[in-house]
A and B are shown apart, each in its own frame.
Chain A
Amino acid sequence: MSTVTPQLDLTPEEMAALKAKTSLAGRAAINAKKKLTSPWASFAAVVLAVLWTIPTFGLLVTSFRPEKAIKTTGWWTFFSNPEVTLENYKTVLSTEGSAGLGGYVINSFVIVIPAVIIPICLAIMAAYAFAWIDFRGRNTLFVAVFALQIVPIQVTLIPLLTLFVDAGIPPFWRIWLSHSTFALPLAIFLLHNFMKEIPKELIEAARVDGAGHVKILFRVLLPLMVPALAAFGIFQFLWVWNDLLVALTFAGDANASPITVGLANLSGTRDNAWQLLSAGAFVAIIVPVAVFITLQRFFVRGLLAGSVKG
């Protein structure tokens, strides 16, 4: 699945290198094409880019305006009459009061770290078993795990909640365990595909040297798997960070709810409190955007790979 589009995530440097490599004729053709379509194409591209950016930009500007200004004038008047305040962010980041989302942000981090680490560790072991250990029924079992990817999480929520409540499992554990479970089929599938690409000779050489499966996994495979782990890890991080449904179902109350729940509640109860909603939205956005900007190449790869996840 990760190989649909091989040139997916080139960095600017790689792009430059690639361009330098293309033949002179090829470049001439590209230049000719540019000349042919340039003015209208550029114009249309700019229009689309502006359309796509304005909504976010408007809310960003709003988050820095004082409450009274937000409620009486449009954010576009900011440029003729700039008033800046950090008050909205102070209110939203505090852990007190009905509008304080600080606690929710902390919960988001508490939720996301184990919810990324647990499925990765379990999936590494399972993927290794599927890729490099011969046992009866291996293929059938692997196809079964792969097929589980398509189960929509909605189908599992209520019985799972009943199970958790009956077993007396605390809210954070419910969220960690359910996110981990839902992530396993995809994680195993991805890591298995990656492990399969590692040359057989490498594994066999290690076997001849007397290394067991556990040793091969840790000494030989794991160091080679960093890109695959990063791709899945980032995908899972963003999935969990941005999730609303699992958190709403299992968190129970505010003590374990992440920022998405806090924000959704605020939007439901204080529909017109734009000074809080705007700042709150940007508090929630800043983490995934930072991840996206710094780890763009892994991000897109992981996103693509997880495209059918439930």
Chain B
Amino acid sequence: MALAILIFVAVVGVILFIAGRSERKGSSRVAFLFLLPTGVMLTIGLLYPAVRTMYYSFFNAAGDAFIGVGNYQTIFGSAEQLTVLRNTALWVLLTPFLATAIGLLYAILVDGARGEALSKALIFLPMSISFVAASIIWKFMYAFRPDQGNINQIGLLNQILVWIGLPPQQFLINTPWNTFFLIAVMIWIQAGFAMTILSASIKAIPDDVIEAARLDGVNPVEMFRYVTLPAIRPSVVVVLSTIAIGTLKVFDVVRTMTGGQFDTSVVANEFYSQSFRSDNQGLGAALAVLLFVLVIPIVVYNVHQLRASEAR
């Protein structure tokens, strides 16, 4: 590690030295030197691989025969892949809306309350830990023990079922409900993100607007509907689209909790399985390209909204 940093510092040092000497020969020379390492890394590390993956998405599993749109036909044609698409759609529709709704509700509830900072930190904490750790936390919540004799449940959710007199469930195995239990994990992680950003934008609403509405005698529901919501609308859109992008690419949660078994796979996980487990390079590439294509409209919309809210 120390060696890596040393080598790297030496490279930067040489660039700065040459740049310093070529100052007199013109500014664009300095600019070229400053951009050189970035340009090399982005070209080799992002541009070239992305183009190559698109190219390979039209090839077979071994990557040696051109098969046209065959891989895309598989994605939209085979029953297995259609389940993947259905799950991905569920994830992308449910996670952003539920996480944002919960985050917004919580932000309003704790706004101005005593101990606000601490209560927000509690909700936000899941956001700072890795998806792998979050998955293990929830796998334990969902833990299942067979319902017989003197065996105790060790997962809290199944124990609650037992307490209220219901049989324990295999939350992660029973399809199609297991996908929803995986989605719950993502909502648990993302609600803190929504809460933090929406809370900040609620606080940015000018006091006199709220005061004026209050003098007009609005009740809390009307206040939310006619004052708060219109004021924070741009932030809500940003939060929704941001969580949607993150959810599209989620891979760690599915891989850690079920490994994509029991009909729980999503595009990002299927990409990994096909590329590295099943050695189906072509299909893996096509899935990666699909991910890219799905992300673009949301990102464009997101950037557009960010611009709009910055301009305000």
Interaction A to B = yes
In the complex, the answer to whether B156 meets A284 with C-beta atoms within 8 Å is no
- Please tell me which stretch of A90-98, A196-204, A223-231, A299-307 contacts chain B, meaning at least 4 of its Cβ atoms lie within 8 angstroms of it: A299-307
Which residues of chain A have C-beta atoms less than 8 A from B132's C-beta? 242, 244, 260, 263-264, 267, 281, 284
User: Does residue A168 face the partner (Cβ distance < 8 Å to B)?
Assistant: no
In the complex, the answer to whether A59 meets B140 with C-beta atoms within 8 Å is yes
Selected from A12, A117, A158, A293, the residue in CB contact (under 8 A) with B8 is A117
Selected from B16, B126, B285, B287, the residue in CB contact (under 8 A) with A214 is B16
CB distance from A170 to the nearest CB of B (A): 10
Which residues of chain B have C-beta atoms less than 8 A from A212's C-beta? 20, 23, 30
Say yes or no: A76-B109 contact (C-beta < 8 A), given A49-B119, A133-B30. no
Which residues of chain B have C-beta atoms less than 8 A from A22's C-beta? 207
Which residues of chain B have C-beta atoms less than 8 A from A34's C-beta? 112-113
Give the complex CA separation of A156 and B106 in angstroms. Answer: 38
In the complex, the answer to whether B156 meets A122 with C-beta atoms within 8 Å is no
Which residues of chain A have C-beta atoms less than 8 A from B130's C-beta? 241-244, 260, 284-285, 288
User: Does residue A1 face the partner (Cβ distance < 8 Å to B)?
Assistant: yes
Give the complex CA separation of A62 and B136 in angstroms. Answer: 12
Which residues of chain B have C-beta atoms less than 8 A from A293's C-beta? 121
Selected from A42, A249, A267, the residue in CB contact (under 8 A) with B136 is A267
In the complex, the answer to whether B46 meets A148 with C-beta atoms within 8 Å is yes
Chain A 1-54 residues near chain B, CB threshold 8 A? 1, 3-9, 12, 15, 22-23, 25-26, 29-30, 32-34, 36-37, 41-42, 44-45, 48-49, 52-54
Selected from B35, B48, B126, B309, the residue in CB contact (under 8 A) with A126 is B35
Q: Identify the closest chain B residue to A145 (Cβ).
A: B42
Which residues of chain B have C-beta atoms less than 8 A from A188's C-beta? 38
Which residues of chain A have C-beta atoms less than 8 A from B214's C-beta? 29, 32-33
Which residues of chain A have C-beta atoms less than 8 A from B143's C-beta? 274
Selected from B42, B110, B284, the residue in CB contact (under 8 A) with A181 is B42
In the complex, the answer to whether A303 meets B193 with C-beta atoms within 8 Å is yes
Selected from A7, A48, A178, the residue in CB contact (under 8 A) with B123 is A48
CB distance from A278 to the nearest CB of B (A): 7
User: Does residue B1 face the partner (Cβ distance < 8 Å to A)?
Assistant: yes
In the complex, the answer to whether A292 meets B128 with C-beta atoms within 8 Å is yes
CB distance from A137 to the nearest CB of B (A): 10
Selected from B123, B196, B246, B306, the residue in CB contact (under 8 A) with A8 is B196
Q: Identify the closest chain A residue to B37 (Cβ).
A: A122
Which residues of chain A have C-beta atoms less than 8 A from B35's C-beta? 125-126, 129, 141
In the complex, the answer to whether A268 meets B259 with C-beta atoms within 8 Å is yes
| Contact residues of A: prevailing secondary structure | helix
Give the complex CA separation of A12 and B121 in angstroms. Answer: 12
Say yes or no: A8-B197 contact (C-beta < 8 A), given A44-B109, A129-B35. yes
Residue contacts A-B, CB under 8 angstroms, 14 given: A5-B204, A12-B117, A152-B288, A173-B4, A182-B45, A214-B16, A215-B20, A242-B131, A260-B130, A288-B128, A288-B130, A289-B128, A308-B302, A308-B303
User: Does residue A206 face the partner (Cβ distance < 8 Å to B)?
Assistant: no
Selected from A3, A176, A263, the residue in CB contact (under 8 A) with B133 is A263
Number of interface residues of A (CB under 8 A): 122
CB distance from B219 to the nearest CB of A (A): 8
Q: Identify the closest chain B residue to A160 (Cβ).
A: B49
Q: Identify the closest chain A residue to B245 (Cβ).
A: A308
Selected from A134, A244, A288, the residue in CB contact (under 8 A) with B252 is A244
Say yes or no: A54-B156 contact (C-beta < 8 A), given A4-B235, A42-B113, A245-B251. yes
Number of interface residues of B (CB under 8 A): 119
Selected from A123, A129, A215, A288, the residue in CB contact (under 8 A) with B129 is A288
CB distance from A128 to the nearest CB of B (A): 6
Give the complex CA separation of A152 and B8 in angstroms. Answer: 26
Which residues of chain A have C-beta atoms less than 8 A from B200's C-beta? 5-9
CB distance from B109 to the nearest CB of A (A): 4
User: Does residue A177 face the partner (Cβ distance < 8 Å to B)?
Assistant: yes
Selected from A126, A150, A268, A281, the residue in CB contact (under 8 A) with B296 is A150
Give the complex CA separation of A182 and B49 in angstroms. Answer: 12
In the complex, the answer to whether A49 meets B122 with C-beta atoms within 8 Å is yes
User: Does residue A208 face the partner (Cβ distance < 8 Å to B)?
Assistant: no
Which residues of chain B have C-beta atoms less than 8 A from A249's C-beta? 276
User: Does residue A195 face the partner (Cβ distance < 8 Å to B)?
Assistant: no
Give the complex CA separation of A157 and B53 in angstroms. Answer: 9
User: Does residue A205 face the partner (Cβ distance < 8 Å to B)?
Assistant: no
User: Does residue A72 face the partner (Cβ distance < 8 Å to B)?
Assistant: yes
Which residues of chain B have C-beta atoms less than 8 A from A3's C-beta? 310
Give the complex CA separation of A296 and B118 in angstroms. Answer: 12
CB distance from A236 to the nearest CB of B (A): 14
Which residues of chain B have C-beta atoms less than 8 A from A82's C-beta? none
Give the complex CA separation of A129 and B133 in angstroms. Answer: 40
Q: Identify the closest chain A residue to B239 (Cβ).
A: A307
User: Does residue A291 face the partner (Cβ distance < 8 Å to B)?
Assistant: yes
Q: Identify the closest chain A residue to B4 (Cβ).
A: A114
Chain A 110-137 residues near chain B, CB threshold 8 A? 110, 113-114, 117-118, 121-123, 125-126, 128-129, 133-136
